Amino acid sequence: MKFSIWDKGDEESRALSARFHEQAARYGLESDDEQPDIVVSIGGDGTMLQAFHRFRHLLRSVSFVGVHTGRLGFYADWRKDELVELVRMIAEARPNIVQYPLVQAEYESGGERFVQLALNEFTLKSAEGTLVAELRINGEPFEMFRGDGLVISTPSGSTAYNKSVGGAVIHPSLEAMQIAEIASINNRVYRTLGSSIVLPKHHYCDVQTEKPIDLWMDHLLLRLDDTRTIRFHVAEEKISFARYRPFPFWNRVRESFIT
């Protein structure tokens, strides 16, 4: 079993990473940052986003597990004081592999075609003032949006930015993507639905604009100067999480937002 650690970069996470390596050596686990079987993220949900983008090209073969150094995360369920136990589980137990859907964005820029994946969401904002964009669903005109932006999230990302802008929380077993508005302007010219919408896997949405776009892919910013249309849909690829014990989604929602 080959592992790679992706830590948050602060002192505490780096110390935990060193401890993980120490324990892993005892169990004969091999460290491999190029072709790992398992990626251990140490930090928080934001750290898991970074780990996802670092190992995105290995999605078909790699699984992820998260250790949190602060509050319980949506992607990071192991506590720092359970690190030794986690190493033992990785070495000796057979995990349950749980797969979560991702959102795919496709666009052209500089004459090249790009295909990007997000674990939480894509957020579209204008690089110059308010975002003015036409939304088309499955090739049909849907609405003319004017406002601060649009958040196009995965089910597991529904508890992040999407929730802050009033979107619904969606269970990650549903293969869907959600489009939520950020501060839309509604008048006679620009009229939007005003609530978020959830699209199934076989649907797609095109966003067309006339101006440069800031496309946020999770925590990463892509400035698209010449792109005029971006297509979003649920990706064929999924992220795999290695579960060594149950981690019920609704418990995480309750513990993060209610209790």
Note if 32 is an active site residue: no
Pick one of 104, 156, 196, 240: the residue that binds ligand NAP (CB under 6 A). Answer: 156
**241: CB partners within 8 A, 6+ apart:** 63, 64, 65, 66, 75, 97, 98, 99, 100
The answer to whether 101 contacts ligand NAP (rule: CB under 6 A) is no
Taking a C-beta distance cutoff of 8 angstroms, is the pair 166, 182 a contact? Answer: no
Question: Which range touches ligand NAP (CB under 6 A), out of 41-49, 52-60, 125-133, 232-240?
Answer: 41-49
Q: Which residue is nearest to ligand NAP (CB)?
A: 46
Question: Which of 26, 79, 171, 219 touches ligand NAP by CB under 6 A?
Answer: 219
Residue 97, number of CB atoms within 10 A of its CB: 10
Report if residue 7 touches ligand NAP, rule: CB under 6 A: no
Q: How far apart are the first and last CA of the chain?
A: 37
Among the candidate windows 44-52, 106-114, 130-138, 202-210, which touches ligand NAP by CB under 6 A? Answer: 44-52
- Nearest-angstrom CA–CA distance, 146 and 202: 26
Among 161, 232, 244, 247, binds ligand NAP (CB under 6 A): 161
H helix intervals, the chain: 11-26, 45-54, 83-92, 161-164, 249-257
Say whether residue 69 binds ligand NAP (CB under 6 A). no
121 binds ligand NAP (CB under 6 A): yes
Residues taking part in catalysis:
45
